[in-house]
Structure 1
Amino acid sequence: MPGRDPGEPHRTATSLELLSDLCFVIAVSQASGGLATAVTGGHYATGCLRFLLVFFTIWWAWMNFTWFASAYDPDDVPYRLTVLVQITGSLVLAAGVGRAFRDGDLRLITLGYVVLRTALTALWIRAARSDQARRRTALRFALGVTLCQFGWVTLLFLPAAAHLPGILVLVTAEVAVPVWAQAAGMTPWHPHHIGERYELFTLIVLGESVAAATVAVRGAFDQHHDAGALYRLAAGGLLMVFAMWWLYFDRPAHLLLATTHQAHRRRFTWAYGHYLVFASAAAEGAGLAANAKLVTRGAAIPAAAAGAAVTVPVAVFLITVWAVHVRPHQHGGVEQLPFPTAAAAVLAATWSPAPALVSGLLLAALVAVVTVTGRAGPGPRDGTTTPS
């Protein structure tokens, strides 16, 4: 399993990677549904905390496999079988999401996560045997991932009071492993391939949000509840998802990655920052679904809490996309204002009579501003220029 050429032309996602993404998104859907249920039940803090933890396990397993496959992907039988084991682990993880949200039971989700990560460890060991130039990096990855898995399994046997501190320690250890491992040498990842993989997963998560909201709104319509409120919710949801797609894909990711190939800090910021991009996109679907349920059940929770379930994820999405995906392309001070301003306005919409619709209109206005200023000013959009 020698490293692939990071300058390989026409490198694209494989069908196996796409299959893996589709299976991961099942877990994303379960996490989004769990958050929606927690919000409608009034369990805001517990629901958000469990969502962030569950989503971390999904995102982290997906991200580590994505970067590994970008550097090492021989597409032979042993590799395919190992990846299929990882996919099985993602499905086990998805099956455990419901228990994690209802009872805080992490046993099944930990089992799926350990299966995922153990399979990845086997791939890193294989890479260490084949790629002598990066043997030290691969062995560091294998060791770090293995130690973290021992930590997650040990956590299951500790008292409940130790769970939250233990989770925080293990999450810190997990995110530190790639930094420590690649300090020994970079893996030969492909900028265009990584950019495409992140873009595809963004599309899948946005699509899951649309699906979750559509099912909830359809259910509300079937029960003949307030049609006006549902129309406003549906229109706002569509505007938000369309605008989120537009704003994210306005700048090509691979140009930023290619330009900062040696800038470790900025590259890690971009890669790790997508946790909030993906999580906020999934949480947006949960917020829309929760609001649709509230229309059918009446005012079970305060109006501000229902509004925040929609506006807070959108604001997080805007700020994160701007910080890690858009801002590095920008050159002038004026260009820095639209995204933070729109995020603040979206948060203010929490207290409006129709938070989803107002937020959708604000995002549509942001798209118009970004499009007009982008056409008038410099910046790469079509791959013909690169940022400074």
Structure 2
Amino acid sequence: MGEDEHFTAQLREELRHRVRPMRGRDPKERGRTTTPLELLYDLTYVVAFAAASDMLAEQLSHGDIWPALGAYIFAVWAVSWAWLNFTWFTSAYGNDDLLFRIATIVQMVGVLVLTYGLPVSFERAAHGESPNNLLMVIGYIIMRVPQILLWLRAAREDPDHRSNALSYVVIISIAQVGWLLTAIVPLPVGVTVTALIVLALFEMVAPVVATRSYGFSPWNAGHLAERFALLTLITIGEVIAGTTAAVGALTQQVGWSPEAVLIAASGLVTAAAVWWTYFLVPSRAILERRPERAFGWRYAHLALFGSIAAIGAGLHLTTIAVEKGGVSLLGIALALAVPLATTIVLIFLTWSVLLRSFDFTHVPLLLITLAPLAAAVVVGAVTRPGQSIDLEQPGSLTTLSLVVGLVALGAVVEVVGHELVGFGHTLRAWRADRSGFARDSAGGPPRIAGGDGTARS
């Protein structure tokens, strides 16, 4: 093929989005990157995470701690799980044709509809009711029905993976009926919440069971690593947005001061440190060599997305405290320190799942990292206990900036510690894992992990 013919074929592929066969992508393709359509799809999740974070902060400011956390977990799970499933399908079958683009846009509409239902969800939870509501369910169904149609299309056009595709059709269809029933059938709150938990577990466990029975779809491990990293960046954006809002509210109240500068710097440092720490985990490099580990790795991200966005909620709570009052310094300290500590632990667990190594030499580093976070909570607890923040009181602004600064210090300690010792731990864990893999293979024919996650002789 000449250069002109090659260029013409490239333009046809990129610019003409007619209906194309939906055959499985190459799971071993190296260097595969995120498409503009996938980036567009992710933009709706900026809105969803921001709305969930804001609602969490608002309810925490009213003192509805446990109902707020329950509604937040439910919202983040629903949004993240729908994103994860579509991303998994796209990695296996994304062909960017006309029908695929339309299905993607319809799912984006579903994300927005679900987001509109979040205020109702948090309000219902605050009144002791189920966080589920019909508007959220409608949005979720709009997100999931196109996936059913896409899996049906994959089952028809990719006969090698038909059983796997049809298993997803059955699982998603059953789940949607269940979600709809929980929203329209009047049941006691306890029964409804139990049903929500059962449905969520079904959606997460059933695909793993089906995969063991019917095989894997041809997803690309390196592509998935990039996609999950990009959504992680989106959630980190909530930390930056929360910092901007908090500092903006503060400067409107008291003007610029050294304390305001410290809070602004601390928020940005926290966001950067979370980013730095996350990308110290060699997800793409390991998954391309051990793709079968993607299942545990992806489930760790469900909690990770929520914990990172919750850091932003803590900063939004700081904004509410400055503008409206009614929030104690201890409340702010906990709202910042707990999700950051959770994020650090989850990143460590992600590393452990990837490398199949629970390196307890990380424990001293973890304790050192958590020490400033604990100090922030102590400062919050001993500073005017039981009283709301009042910037007109002497020292209030200083203690507020101290709490935010200590939280940022914990994030920095994590980065410095991993830069000093993390590479050596990762290298040792990888060598031990590789040696163990070789020993397991020595007893029989060589077993090579296929790109679809299977081990083939």
- Cα shift at 1:318: 0.3
CA distance 1:105–1:270, shift in 2 (3 Å): closer
- Cα shift at 1:357: 1.0
Who is 1:3 aligned against?
A: 24
- Cα shift at 1:172: 1.1
- Cα shift at 1:307: 1.0
Name which of structure 1's ranges 37-46 and 347-356 shifts more when overlaid on structure 2. 347-356
- Cα shift at 1:108: 1.0
SS at match of 1:3: coil
Name which of structure 1's ranges 302-311 and 99-108 shifts more when overlaid on structure 2. 99-108
User: Structure 1 residue aligned with 2:417, among 369, 374, 384?
Assistant: 369
User: Structure 2 residue aligned with 1:208, among 238, 245, 248?
Assistant: 238
Who is 2:336 aligned against?
A: 310
SS at match of 1:66: helix
- Cα shift at 1:132: 1.2
Name the CA distance, whole Å, in 2 between partners of 1:340 and 1:88. 44
- Cα shift at 1:189: 0.9
User: Structure 1 residue aligned with 2:186, among 158, 165, 169?
Assistant: 158
Name which of structure 1's ranges 244-253 and 176-185 shifts more when overlaid on structure 2. 176-185
Name the CA distance, whole Å, in 2 between partners of 1:340 and 1:72. 44
> How far does the alpha carbon of each residue in 1:319-347 deviate from its partner, in whole angstroms, 9 at most, with x for none?
00011136744686434542354246524
Who is 1:46 aligned against?
A: 67
Who is 2:203 aligned against?
A: 174
Q: Residue 256 of structure 1 contacts residue 328 of structure 1 at CA under 8 Å; is this kept in 2? A: yes
User: Structure 1 residue aligned with 2:316, among 289, 310, 323?
Assistant: 289
Name the CA distance, whole Å, in 1 between partners of 2:56 and 2:173. 30
CA distance 1:163–1:237, shift in 2 (3 Å): same
TM-score when scaled to structure 2?
Answer: 0.78
CA distance 1:151–1:160, shift in 2 (3 Å): same
SS at match of 1:251: coil
CA distance 1:35–1:230, shift in 2 (3 Å): farther
Equivalent positions of 1:261-280 (< 5 A) are 261-262=291-292, 266-280=293-307
Name the CA distance, whole Å, in 2 between partners of 1:321 and 1:332. 13
Q: Residue 140 of structure 1 contacts residue 180 of structure 1 at CA under 8 Å; is this kept in 2? A: no
Who is 2:94 aligned against?
A: 73
Q: Residue 255 of structure 1 contacts residue 387 of structure 1 at CA under 8 Å; is this kept in 2? A: no
- Cα shift at 1:145: 0.4
> How far does the alpha carbon of each residue in 1:179-203 deviate from its partner, in whole angstroms, 9 at most, with x for none?
1221210111111100000111111
Name the CA distance, whole Å, in 2 between partners of 1:205 and 1:310. 15
Name which of structure 1's ranges 180-189 and 276-285 shifts more when overlaid on structure 2. 180-189
Name which of structure 1's ranges 318-327 and 216-225 shifts more when overlaid on structure 2. 216-225
Equivalent positions of 1:85-124 (< 5 A) are 85-103=106-124, 104=131, 106-124=133-151
Q: Residue 375 of structure 2 contacts residue 406 of structure 2 at CA under 8 Å; is this kept in 1? A: no
Who is 1:143 aligned against?
A: 170
Name the CA distance, whole Å, in 2 between partners of 1:309 and 1:226. 24
Name the CA distance, whole Å, in 2 between partners of 1:247 and 1:100. 33
The answer as to 2:292 corresponding to 1:242 is no
Name the CA distance, whole Å, in 2 between partners of 1:333 and 1:257. 23
CA distance 1:376–1:4, shift in 2 (3 Å): closer
Who is 1:15 aligned against?
A: 36
Name the CA distance, whole Å, in 2 between partners of 1:209 and 1:134. 41
User: What is the total number of aligned residue pairs between the two structures?
Assistant: 382
> How far does the alpha carbon of each residue in 1:220-267 deviate from its partner, in whole angstroms, 9 at most, with x for none?
3223379565444333222211110100011331122223223xxx43
TM-score when scaled to structure 1?
Answer: 0.91
Tell me the percent identity.
31
Name which of structure 1's ranges 183-192 and 351-360 shifts more when overlaid on structure 2. 351-360
- Cα shift at 1:107: 1.5
CA distance 1:146–1:377, shift in 2 (3 Å): closer
Query: Aligned AA for 1:233?
Result: I
Name the CA distance, whole Å, in 2 between partners of 1:344 and 1:72. 46
SS at match of 2:376: helix
CA distance 1:325–1:340, shift in 2 (3 Å): farther
List alignment gaps of at least 5 residues for structure 1.
none
- Cα shift at 1:377: 6.0
User: Structure 2 residue aligned with 1:256, among 265, 270, 286?
Assistant: 286
List alignment gaps of at least 5 residues for structure 2.
1-21, 125-130, 380-398, 435-457
Name the CA distance, whole Å, in 2 between partners of 1:377 and 1:253. 15
> How far does the alpha carbon of each residue in 1:141-179 deviate from its partner, in whole angstroms, 9 at most, with x for none?
010001000001000123242321111111111112321
CA distance 1:7–1:289, shift in 2 (3 Å): same
Larger Rg over CA atoms: 2
Q: Residue 352 of structure 2 contacts residue 359 of structure 2 at CA under 8 Å; is this kept in 1? A: no
SS at match of 1:379: helix
Who is 2:350 aligned against?
A: 324
Query: Aligned AA for 1:211?
Result: A
CA distance 1:292–1:180, shift in 2 (3 Å): same
Q: Residue 93 of structure 1 contacts residue 108 of structure 1 at CA under 8 Å; is this kept in 2? A: yes
Name the CA distance, whole Å, in 2 between partners of 1:159 and 1:81. 37
User: Structure 1 residue aligned with 2:405, among 357, 371, 376?
Assistant: 357
- Cα shift at 1:368: 1.2
SS at match of 1:259: coil
The answer as to 2:83 corresponding to 1:35 is no
User: Structure 2 residue aligned with 1:189, among 201, 219, 222?
Assistant: 219
Query: Aligned AA for 1:76?
Result: D
Query: Aligned AA for 2:420?
Result: V
